[in-house]
Chain A
Amino acid sequence: MALIDLANPTRFLSATARVLPWLAIATAIAFAVGLYLVWSAPDDYQQGATVKIMFIHVPNAWLAMAVWAVMSIASIGTLVWRHPLADVAAKAAVPLGAAFTFLALLTGSLWGRPMWGTYWVWDARLTSVLVLFLMYLGVLALSRTVDDPSRAGRAAAILTLVGAINLPIIKFSVDWWNTLHQPASVFRASGPAIDPSILTPLLVMALAFMLLFVTLHLAAMRNEILRRRVRTMWLMQAHAAS
Protein backbone atom coordinates (compact mmCIF):
# COMPACT_ATOMS: atom_id res chain seq x y z
CA MET A 1 0.00 0.00 0.00
CA ALA A 2 1.59 3.26 -1.11
CA LEU A 3 1.65 6.31 1.12
CA ILE A 4 -0.70 8.08 -1.24
CA ASP A 5 -3.39 5.54 -0.46
CA LEU A 6 -3.59 7.04 2.99
CA ALA A 7 -5.21 10.00 1.29
CA ASN A 8 -8.36 7.94 1.02
CA PRO A 9 -10.32 8.56 4.22
CA THR A 10 -11.34 4.94 4.57
CA ARG A 11 -7.79 3.73 4.20
CA PHE A 12 -6.70 6.44 6.59
CA LEU A 13 -9.17 5.23 9.19
CA SER A 14 -8.04 1.64 8.97
CA ALA A 15 -4.34 2.53 8.94
CA THR A 16 -4.58 4.82 11.94
CA ALA A 17 -6.67 2.31 13.82
CA ARG A 18 -3.69 -0.01 13.73
CA VAL A 19 -1.05 2.62 14.47
CA LEU A 20 -2.78 4.62 17.18
CA PRO A 21 -2.41 2.19 20.11
CA TRP A 22 1.34 1.97 19.48
CA LEU A 23 1.64 5.72 19.30
CA ALA A 24 -0.21 6.04 22.57
CA ILE A 25 2.16 3.59 24.23
CA ALA A 26 5.18 5.37 22.80
CA THR A 27 3.84 8.67 24.13
CA ALA A 28 3.35 7.23 27.58
CA ILE A 29 6.85 5.79 27.62
CA ALA A 30 8.36 9.07 26.42
CA PHE A 31 6.56 10.96 29.16
CA ALA A 32 7.62 8.44 31.77
CA VAL A 33 11.26 8.70 30.75
CA GLY A 34 11.09 12.45 30.36
CA LEU A 35 9.46 13.06 33.71
CA TYR A 36 11.97 10.82 35.42
CA LEU A 37 14.81 12.77 33.84
CA VAL A 38 13.17 16.02 34.87
CA TRP A 39 12.81 14.81 38.42
CA SER A 40 16.44 13.79 38.60
CA ALA A 41 17.79 16.89 36.89
CA PRO A 42 19.71 19.32 39.11
CA ASP A 43 17.89 22.27 40.65
CA ASP A 44 18.85 25.69 39.46
CA TYR A 45 20.93 27.44 42.10
CA GLN A 46 18.97 30.61 41.71
CA GLN A 47 15.41 29.45 41.10
CA GLY A 48 15.34 26.14 42.91
CA ALA A 49 13.00 23.46 41.75
CA THR A 50 10.63 25.82 40.01
CA VAL A 51 12.97 25.96 37.04
CA LYS A 52 11.62 22.54 36.17
CA ILE A 53 8.43 24.11 34.92
CA MET A 54 10.62 25.09 32.00
CA PHE A 55 10.63 21.48 30.91
CA ILE A 56 6.94 21.78 30.25
CA HIS A 57 6.84 25.41 29.22
CA VAL A 58 9.49 25.33 26.50
CA PRO A 59 8.25 22.23 24.64
CA ASN A 60 4.74 23.65 24.71
CA ALA A 61 5.96 26.92 23.25
CA TRP A 62 7.80 25.04 20.52
CA LEU A 63 4.74 22.97 19.77
CA ALA A 64 2.54 26.05 19.62
CA MET A 65 4.58 27.25 16.68
CA ALA A 66 5.04 23.79 15.16
CA VAL A 67 1.31 23.09 15.13
CA TRP A 68 0.71 26.32 13.25
CA ALA A 69 3.27 25.07 10.71
CA VAL A 70 1.34 21.78 10.43
CA MET A 71 -1.87 23.74 9.97
CA SER A 72 -0.23 25.84 7.26
CA ILE A 73 0.92 22.83 5.30
CA ALA A 74 -2.53 21.31 5.59
CA SER A 75 -4.04 24.61 4.47
CA ILE A 76 -1.93 24.60 1.33
CA GLY A 77 -3.21 21.09 0.69
CA THR A 78 -6.78 22.33 1.06
CA LEU A 79 -6.47 25.36 -1.16
CA VAL A 80 -4.12 24.17 -3.88
CA TRP A 81 -4.86 20.47 -4.26
CA ARG A 82 -8.24 20.28 -2.53
CA HIS A 83 -6.99 17.18 -0.80
CA PRO A 84 -9.87 15.66 1.20
CA LEU A 85 -7.79 14.91 4.26
CA ALA A 86 -5.99 18.25 4.33
CA ASP A 87 -9.13 19.99 5.50
CA VAL A 88 -9.63 17.41 8.23
CA ALA A 89 -6.00 17.64 9.33
CA ALA A 90 -6.13 21.42 9.62
CA LYS A 91 -9.38 21.45 11.53
CA ALA A 92 -8.25 18.77 13.97
CA ALA A 93 -4.98 20.57 14.67
CA VAL A 94 -6.44 23.93 15.68
CA PRO A 95 -7.86 23.06 19.12
CA LEU A 96 -4.72 21.08 19.93
CA GLY A 97 -2.49 23.98 18.96
CA ALA A 98 -4.62 26.36 21.00
CA ALA A 99 -4.38 24.04 23.99
CA PHE A 100 -0.60 23.79 23.77
CA THR A 101 -0.36 27.56 23.44
CA PHE A 102 -2.55 28.01 26.48
CA LEU A 103 -0.40 25.56 28.43
CA ALA A 104 2.68 27.48 27.39
CA LEU A 105 1.13 30.69 28.68
CA LEU A 106 -0.03 29.05 31.90
CA THR A 107 3.27 27.37 32.68
CA GLY A 108 5.15 30.48 31.70
CA SER A 109 3.06 32.48 34.11
CA LEU A 110 3.51 29.95 36.93
CA TRP A 111 7.22 29.76 36.28
CA GLY A 112 7.58 33.49 36.51
CA ARG A 113 5.50 34.03 39.61
CA PRO A 114 8.22 33.16 42.12
CA MET A 115 10.76 35.29 40.27
CA TRP A 116 8.70 38.28 39.12
CA GLY A 117 6.26 38.47 41.99
CA THR A 118 3.36 38.73 39.53
CA TYR A 119 1.58 36.23 37.33
CA TRP A 120 2.25 38.11 34.15
CA VAL A 121 4.83 40.35 32.64
CA TRP A 122 4.78 41.72 29.14
CA ASP A 123 8.06 40.29 28.06
CA ALA A 124 8.75 39.48 24.43
CA ARG A 125 8.37 35.71 24.52
CA LEU A 126 5.17 35.55 26.56
CA THR A 127 3.59 38.40 24.61
CA SER A 128 4.27 36.76 21.25
CA VAL A 129 2.76 33.53 22.56
CA LEU A 130 -0.26 35.51 23.73
CA VAL A 131 -0.77 36.99 20.26
CA LEU A 132 -0.35 33.50 18.81
CA PHE A 133 -3.04 32.29 21.19
CA LEU A 134 -5.38 35.02 19.99
CA MET A 135 -4.74 33.97 16.41
CA TYR A 136 -5.57 30.36 17.23
CA LEU A 137 -8.82 31.56 18.77
CA GLY A 138 -9.51 33.55 15.62
CA VAL A 139 -9.14 30.49 13.40
CA LEU A 140 -11.30 28.48 15.79
CA ALA A 141 -13.98 31.14 15.79
CA LEU A 142 -13.95 31.43 12.00
CA SER A 143 -14.22 27.72 11.37
CA ARG A 144 -17.05 27.36 13.87
CA THR A 145 -19.01 30.34 12.56
CA VAL A 146 -19.16 29.36 8.89
CA ASP A 147 -21.87 26.78 8.43
CA ASP A 148 -20.78 24.80 5.40
CA PRO A 149 -17.80 22.61 6.41
CA SER A 150 -15.89 22.85 3.15
CA ARG A 151 -16.29 26.63 3.00
CA ALA A 152 -15.28 26.85 6.65
CA GLY A 153 -12.22 24.76 5.88
CA ARG A 154 -11.17 26.98 3.02
CA ALA A 155 -11.75 30.19 4.98
CA ALA A 156 -9.75 28.83 7.90
CA ALA A 157 -7.02 27.75 5.47
CA ILE A 158 -6.66 31.26 4.10
CA LEU A 159 -6.59 32.77 7.58
CA THR A 160 -3.98 30.19 8.66
CA LEU A 161 -1.72 31.06 5.74
CA VAL A 162 -2.15 34.80 6.29
CA GLY A 163 -1.28 34.16 9.92
CA ALA A 164 1.76 32.11 8.94
CA ILE A 165 3.06 35.01 6.89
CA ASN A 166 2.36 37.44 9.68
CA LEU A 167 3.78 35.41 12.55
CA PRO A 168 7.45 36.23 11.84
CA ILE A 169 6.47 39.89 11.46
CA ILE A 170 4.57 39.83 14.73
CA LYS A 171 7.42 38.07 16.52
CA PHE A 172 9.89 40.61 15.19
CA SER A 173 7.65 43.53 16.16
CA VAL A 174 7.04 42.25 19.67
CA ASP A 175 10.75 41.65 20.23
CA TRP A 176 11.50 45.13 18.97
CA TRP A 177 8.75 46.62 21.13
CA ASN A 178 10.08 44.84 24.14
CA THR A 179 13.59 46.21 23.74
CA LEU A 180 12.10 49.70 23.53
CA HIS A 181 10.33 49.43 26.83
CA GLN A 182 12.69 47.13 28.65
CA PRO A 183 14.20 48.52 31.83
CA ALA A 184 17.77 47.43 32.41
CA SER A 185 17.41 44.50 34.77
CA VAL A 186 14.55 42.21 34.01
CA PHE A 187 14.09 38.52 34.31
CA ARG A 188 14.64 36.84 30.99
CA ALA A 189 12.03 34.23 30.38
CA SER A 190 14.40 32.13 28.34
CA GLY A 191 15.86 30.96 31.59
CA PRO A 192 19.35 29.74 32.31
CA ALA A 193 21.82 28.82 29.61
CA ILE A 194 21.29 25.35 28.29
CA ASP A 195 23.55 22.94 30.09
CA PRO A 196 23.82 19.30 28.93
CA SER A 197 22.25 18.01 32.10
CA ILE A 198 19.28 20.13 31.26
CA LEU A 199 19.31 19.61 27.50
CA THR A 200 18.56 15.91 27.61
CA PRO A 201 15.44 16.11 29.74
CA LEU A 202 14.29 19.06 27.65
CA LEU A 203 14.63 17.17 24.41
CA VAL A 204 12.98 14.06 25.80
CA MET A 205 10.06 16.12 27.06
CA ALA A 206 9.88 17.84 23.69
CA LEU A 207 9.74 14.44 22.02
CA ALA A 208 7.09 13.30 24.46
CA PHE A 209 4.89 16.30 23.76
CA MET A 210 5.40 15.89 20.06
CA LEU A 211 4.29 12.27 20.25
CA LEU A 212 1.33 13.43 22.32
CA PHE A 213 0.39 15.86 19.58
CA VAL A 214 0.70 13.26 16.83
CA THR A 215 -1.40 10.77 18.79
CA LEU A 216 -4.09 13.27 19.64
CA HIS A 217 -4.03 14.73 16.15
CA LEU A 218 -4.57 11.39 14.44
CA ALA A 219 -7.31 10.54 16.91
CA ALA A 220 -8.97 13.89 16.28
CA MET A 221 -8.74 13.40 12.52
CA ARG A 222 -10.46 10.05 12.85
CA ASN A 223 -13.23 11.66 14.87
CA GLU A 224 -13.66 14.41 12.31
CA ILE A 225 -13.92 11.93 9.45
CA LEU A 226 -16.54 9.96 11.33
CA ARG A 227 -18.37 13.16 12.23
CA ARG A 228 -18.55 14.14 8.56
CA ARG A 229 -19.85 10.74 7.61
CA VAL A 230 -22.64 11.06 10.12
CA ARG A 231 -23.47 14.49 8.74
CA THR A 232 -23.57 13.16 5.19
CA MET A 233 -25.90 10.38 6.29
CA TRP A 234 -28.25 12.91 7.89
CA LEU A 235 -28.24 15.00 4.75
CA MET A 236 -29.01 12.00 2.60
CA GLN A 237 -31.79 11.02 4.94
CA ALA A 238 -33.31 14.49 4.79
CA HIS A 239 -33.00 14.62 1.04
CA ALA A 240 -34.59 11.20 0.58
CA ALA A 241 -37.52 12.15 2.74
CA SER A 242 -38.37 15.33 0.80
Chain B
Amino acid sequence: MLRLSASGLGCVRGSRTIFDDINLELSSGEVLALVGPNGSGKSSLLRLVAGLLRESAGRIELGGGAPDQTIGEQAHYLGHLDALKPSLTVAENLAFWVHYLGGNVASLPAALAGLGLGSLAELPAAYLSAGQRRRLSLARLVAVPRPIWLLDEPTSALDAAGQEQLAGLMRQHLSGGGLILAATHGPLGIEARELKLGGTA
Protein backbone atom coordinates (compact mmCIF):
# COMPACT_ATOMS: atom_id res chain seq x y z
CA MET B 1 0.00 0.00 0.00
CA LEU B 2 1.72 3.14 -1.23
CA ARG B 3 1.18 6.64 -0.01
CA LEU B 4 2.65 9.64 -1.78
CA SER B 5 2.45 12.86 0.19
CA ALA B 6 3.85 16.34 -0.16
CA SER B 7 3.62 19.21 2.26
CA GLY B 8 4.51 22.87 1.91
CA LEU B 9 5.93 22.31 -1.54
CA GLY B 10 7.40 25.35 -3.24
CA CYS B 11 8.95 25.74 -6.66
CA VAL B 12 11.15 28.56 -7.89
CA ARG B 13 12.43 28.60 -11.46
CA GLY B 14 14.68 31.37 -12.61
CA SER B 15 13.71 34.09 -10.20
CA ARG B 16 10.03 33.37 -10.48
CA THR B 17 8.03 31.62 -7.76
CA ILE B 18 5.90 29.14 -9.67
CA PHE B 19 3.98 27.90 -6.68
CA ASP B 20 4.14 27.99 -2.96
CA ASP B 21 2.88 25.82 -0.11
CA ILE B 22 1.29 23.01 -2.09
CA ASN B 23 0.08 19.93 -0.24
CA LEU B 24 -1.04 16.69 -1.75
CA GLU B 25 -1.84 13.13 -0.74
CA LEU B 26 -2.25 10.15 -2.94
CA SER B 27 -2.59 6.45 -2.15
CA SER B 28 -2.56 3.21 -4.13
CA GLY B 29 -5.46 2.95 -6.52
CA GLU B 30 -6.05 6.70 -6.62
CA VAL B 31 -5.78 9.32 -9.32
CA LEU B 32 -5.05 12.97 -8.66
CA ALA B 33 -5.61 15.39 -11.52
CA LEU B 34 -3.66 18.66 -11.50
CA VAL B 35 -5.68 21.44 -13.04
CA GLY B 36 -5.03 25.10 -13.47
CA PRO B 37 -4.17 27.76 -16.03
CA ASN B 38 -0.98 27.72 -18.07
CA GLY B 39 2.06 28.64 -16.06
CA SER B 40 0.49 27.56 -12.78
CA GLY B 41 3.15 24.90 -12.31
CA LYS B 42 1.39 21.64 -13.21
CA SER B 43 4.38 20.39 -15.19
CA SER B 44 6.80 21.71 -12.59
CA LEU B 45 4.98 19.82 -9.84
CA LEU B 46 5.20 16.59 -11.81
CA ARG B 47 8.89 17.14 -12.44
CA LEU B 48 9.41 17.87 -8.76
CA VAL B 49 7.89 14.54 -7.77
CA ALA B 50 9.95 12.82 -10.46
CA GLY B 51 13.11 14.27 -9.02
CA LEU B 52 13.92 16.26 -12.14
CA LEU B 53 13.52 19.57 -10.32
CA ARG B 54 14.58 20.58 -6.89
CA GLU B 55 11.97 21.94 -4.54
CA SER B 56 12.66 25.30 -2.96
CA ALA B 57 10.59 24.43 0.09
CA GLY B 58 8.67 21.55 1.58
CA ARG B 59 9.11 17.81 1.20
CA ILE B 60 7.82 14.88 -0.75
CA GLU B 61 7.53 11.47 0.87
CA LEU B 62 6.64 8.02 -0.32
CA GLY B 63 5.35 5.61 2.29
CA GLY B 64 5.37 1.90 1.57
CA GLY B 65 7.73 2.04 -1.37
CA ALA B 66 11.16 0.49 -1.85
CA PRO B 67 13.34 1.97 0.91
CA ASP B 68 16.55 2.02 -1.10
CA GLN B 69 15.12 3.77 -4.15
CA THR B 70 14.25 7.39 -4.78
CA ILE B 71 10.74 8.32 -5.80
CA GLY B 72 11.94 8.94 -9.35
CA GLU B 73 13.29 5.42 -9.58
CA GLN B 74 9.84 4.08 -8.76
CA ALA B 75 7.97 6.37 -11.12
CA HIS B 76 7.26 6.77 -14.79
CA TYR B 77 7.29 10.25 -16.24
CA LEU B 78 5.30 10.95 -19.38
CA GLY B 79 6.14 14.49 -20.43
CA HIS B 80 5.45 16.59 -23.47
CA LEU B 81 8.46 15.11 -25.22
CA ASP B 82 8.47 11.52 -26.35
CA ALA B 83 12.09 10.47 -25.79
CA LEU B 84 12.07 8.57 -29.06
CA LYS B 85 15.04 8.32 -31.38
CA PRO B 86 13.89 8.64 -35.01
CA SER B 87 16.65 6.48 -36.42
CA LEU B 88 15.87 3.52 -34.17
CA THR B 89 12.95 1.22 -34.86
CA VAL B 90 9.87 1.12 -32.66
CA ALA B 91 11.02 -2.13 -31.09
CA GLU B 92 14.57 -0.87 -30.57
CA ASN B 93 13.32 2.28 -28.88
CA LEU B 94 11.09 0.38 -26.49
CA ALA B 95 13.66 -2.36 -25.87
CA PHE B 96 16.22 0.23 -24.84
CA TRP B 97 13.95 1.77 -22.24
CA VAL B 98 12.87 -1.62 -20.97
CA HIS B 99 16.48 -2.65 -20.45
CA TYR B 100 17.50 0.69 -19.03
CA LEU B 101 14.59 1.08 -16.61
CA GLY B 102 14.91 -2.47 -15.36
CA GLY B 103 11.96 -4.18 -16.98
CA ASN B 104 11.59 -7.60 -18.53
CA VAL B 105 12.17 -7.57 -22.27
CA ALA B 106 9.82 -10.53 -22.68
CA SER B 107 6.89 -8.25 -22.03
CA LEU B 108 7.78 -6.10 -25.02
CA PRO B 109 5.68 -7.76 -27.75
CA ALA B 110 2.60 -7.78 -25.54
CA ALA B 111 3.06 -4.13 -24.66
CA LEU B 112 3.39 -3.12 -28.28
CA ALA B 113 0.44 -5.24 -29.35
CA GLY B 114 -1.71 -3.92 -26.55
CA LEU B 115 -1.28 -0.40 -27.89
CA GLY B 116 -1.81 -1.33 -31.50
CA LEU B 117 1.82 -0.97 -32.48
CA GLY B 118 2.60 -4.63 -32.96
CA SER B 119 2.71 -4.44 -36.75
CA LEU B 120 4.96 -1.38 -36.64
CA ALA B 121 7.69 -2.95 -34.53
CA GLU B 122 10.36 -2.87 -37.23
CA LEU B 123 9.46 0.56 -38.53
CA PRO B 124 11.88 3.43 -37.83
CA ALA B 125 10.29 5.69 -35.29
CA ALA B 126 10.65 8.65 -37.64
CA TYR B 127 7.64 7.42 -39.61
CA LEU B 128 5.21 7.39 -36.70
CA SER B 129 2.38 9.86 -36.41
CA ALA B 130 1.98 11.99 -33.30
CA GLY B 131 -0.65 9.66 -31.89
CA GLN B 132 1.50 6.61 -32.55
CA ARG B 133 4.46 8.22 -30.85
CA ARG B 134 2.31 8.92 -27.82
CA ARG B 135 1.17 5.32 -27.77
CA LEU B 136 4.76 4.13 -27.98
CA SER B 137 5.54 6.23 -24.91
CA LEU B 138 2.56 4.62 -23.19
CA ALA B 139 3.94 1.22 -24.16
CA ARG B 140 6.97 2.10 -22.09
CA LEU B 141 4.73 2.59 -19.04
CA VAL B 142 3.12 -0.76 -19.65
CA ALA B 143 6.29 -2.71 -20.39
CA VAL B 144 8.17 -1.64 -17.25
CA PRO B 145 6.12 -1.99 -14.08
CA ARG B 146 6.55 0.99 -11.79
CA PRO B 147 3.97 1.98 -9.18
CA ILE B 148 3.85 5.75 -9.70
CA TRP B 149 2.72 7.31 -12.96
CA LEU B 150 3.41 11.01 -13.51
CA LEU B 151 1.54 12.05 -16.63
CA ASP B 152 1.75 15.49 -18.22
CA GLU B 153 -1.28 16.05 -20.47
CA PRO B 154 -1.50 12.38 -21.43
CA THR B 155 -4.56 12.79 -23.65
CA SER B 156 -2.93 15.28 -25.98
CA ALA B 157 -2.14 13.87 -29.45
CA LEU B 158 -4.50 10.96 -28.83
CA ASP B 159 -7.72 10.51 -30.77
CA ALA B 160 -10.91 9.23 -29.15
CA ALA B 161 -9.90 5.59 -29.52
CA GLY B 162 -6.48 6.36 -28.10
CA GLN B 163 -8.00 8.12 -25.13
CA GLU B 164 -10.24 5.13 -24.48
CA GLN B 165 -7.18 2.94 -24.52
CA LEU B 166 -5.37 5.27 -22.15
CA ALA B 167 -8.29 5.20 -19.73
CA GLY B 168 -8.22 1.41 -19.82
CA LEU B 169 -4.51 1.33 -19.12
CA MET B 170 -4.92 3.72 -16.24
CA ARG B 171 -7.67 1.61 -14.71
CA GLN B 172 -5.49 -1.46 -15.05
CA HIS B 173 -2.58 0.33 -13.39
CA LEU B 174 -4.75 1.49 -10.52
CA SER B 175 -6.25 -1.91 -9.89
CA GLY B 176 -2.72 -3.27 -9.70
CA GLY B 177 -2.02 -0.97 -6.79
CA GLY B 178 -0.47 1.88 -8.69
CA LEU B 179 -1.15 5.55 -8.30
CA ILE B 180 -1.41 8.28 -10.92
CA LEU B 181 -0.65 11.98 -10.76
CA ALA B 182 -1.74 13.67 -13.97
CA ALA B 183 -1.72 17.24 -15.22
CA THR B 184 -4.53 17.85 -17.61
CA HIS B 185 -6.61 20.54 -19.25
CA GLY B 186 -9.55 18.35 -20.07
CA PRO B 187 -11.19 15.19 -18.73
CA LEU B 188 -8.91 12.23 -18.18
CA GLY B 189 -11.50 9.60 -18.91
CA ILE B 190 -11.56 8.18 -15.41
CA GLU B 191 -12.76 9.33 -12.02
CA ALA B 192 -10.20 11.57 -10.36
CA ARG B 193 -9.80 13.97 -7.47
CA GLU B 194 -8.60 17.39 -8.46
CA LEU B 195 -5.86 19.65 -7.17
CA LYS B 196 -6.14 23.17 -8.42
CA LEU B 197 -2.95 25.14 -8.97
CA GLY B 198 -2.38 28.78 -9.74
CA GLY B 199 -4.94 30.44 -7.53
CA THR B 200 -3.07 33.63 -6.69
CA ALA B 201 -0.73 35.79 -8.77
Total interface residues on B, CB under 8 Å, equals: 6
A231 touches B15 (CB 8 A): yes
Which residues of A from 215 to 242 have beta carbons under 8 Å from B? 228, 231-232, 235, 239-240, 242
Is the Cβ of A149 less than 8 Å from the Cβ of B15? yes
Q: Is A150 an interface residue (CB 8 A)?
A: yes
Nearest CB in chain A: distance from B15 CB, A? 5
Contacts of A232 in B (CB 8 A): 15
Q: Considering the complex, give the chain A residue whose CB is closest to the CB of B39.
A: A242
- Closest Cβ of chain A: how far from B165's Cβ, in Å? 37
Summarize A's interface: helix, strand, loop or mixed: helix
Contact present for A239 and B16 (CB under 8 Å): yes
Are B201 and A240 in touch, CB under 8 angstroms? Answer: yes
CB distance from A77 to the nearest CB of B (A): 18
Does any Cβ of A come within 8 Å of B199's Cβ?
no
Contact residues on A (Cβ < 8 Å of other chain), bracket: 10 to 19
CA–CA, A150 to B201, complex, Å? 23
CB pair B16–A235 under 8 Å, yes or no, is yes
Residues of B1-30 at the interface with A, using a CB-CB cut-off of 8 Å, are 13-16
Tell yes or no: A195 within 8 A of B by CB.
no
Bound: A149/B15 CA distance, A: 8
Chain B residues lying within 8 Å of A235, measured Cβ to Cβ, are: 14-16
CB-defined interface of A193-216 with B at 8 Å, one 1/0 digit per residue?
000000000000000000000000
A contact residues around B14 at 8 Å (CB): 148-150, 235
In the complex, chain B residues whose CB is within 8 Å of the CB of A242: 39
Give the docked Cα–Cα distance between A240 and B14 (Å): 16
CA distance A239 to B16 in the complex (A): 9
Top 6 closest pairs, chain A to chain B, by CB: A148-B14, A232-B15, A235-B15, A235-B16, A240-B201, A239-B201
* Residues of B participating in the A interface, judged by any CB pair closer than 8 Å: 13-16, 39, 201
Of the A-B pairs whose beta carbons lie under 8 Å apart in the complex, a sample of 13, sorted by A's number, is A148-B13, A148-B14, A149-B14, A149-B15, A150-B14, A150-B15, A228-B15, A231-B15, A232-B15, A235-B15, A239-B16, A239-B201, A240-B201
